[in-house]
Chain A
Amino acid sequence: SQQGEEDPQALSIQEGENATMNCSYKTSINNLQWYRQNSGRGLVHLILIRSNEREKHSGRLRVTLDTSKKSSSLLITASRAADTASYFCATDAAGYSTLTFGKGTMLLVSP
Chain B
Amino acid sequence: EPEVTQTPSHQVTQMGQEVILRCVPISNHLYFYWYRQILGQKVEFLVSFYNNEISEKSEIFDDQFSVERPDGSNFTLKIRSTKLEDSAMYFCASSLASSLHFGNGTRLTVT
Contact = CB atoms under 8 A, between A and B. Distances in A.
B37 to A, nearest CB: 9
Interface of B is mostly: strand
Nearest to A41: B104
Interface stretch (A52-60, A64-72, A77-85, A96-104): A96-104
Given A42-B4, A45-B100, A3 B105 contact: no
Interface residues of A, number: 23
A40 B44 CA distance: 16
Contact of B102 (A43, A48, A98): A43
B98 interface: yes
Contacts of A42: 4, 91, 93, 102-105
A35 B31 CA distance: 18
A104 B42 contact: yes
Contacts of B91: 42-43
A32 to B, nearest CB: 10
A101 B42 contact: yes
B98 A33 contact: yes
A102 B43 CA distance: 7
Interface in A27-42: 30-31, 33, 35, 40-42
Interface of B: 4, 31, 33, 35, 41-45, 48, 55-56, 58, 91, 93, 98-105
Given A92-B98, A97-B56, 11 more contacts: A30-B98, A33-B98, A40-B105, A41-B105, A42-B4, A43-B93, A45-B101, A98-B48, A101-B44, A103-B41, A104-B43
28 contacts: A3-B42, A30-B98, A33-B99, A40-B105, A41-B104, A41-B105, A42-B4, A42-B91, A42-B93, A42-B103, A42-B104, A43-B43, A43-B91, A43-B100, A44-B102, A88-B43, A97-B55, A97-B56, A98-B45, A98-B48, A98-B56, A99-B100, A101-B35, A101-B43, A101-B44, A103-B42, A104-B42, A104-B43
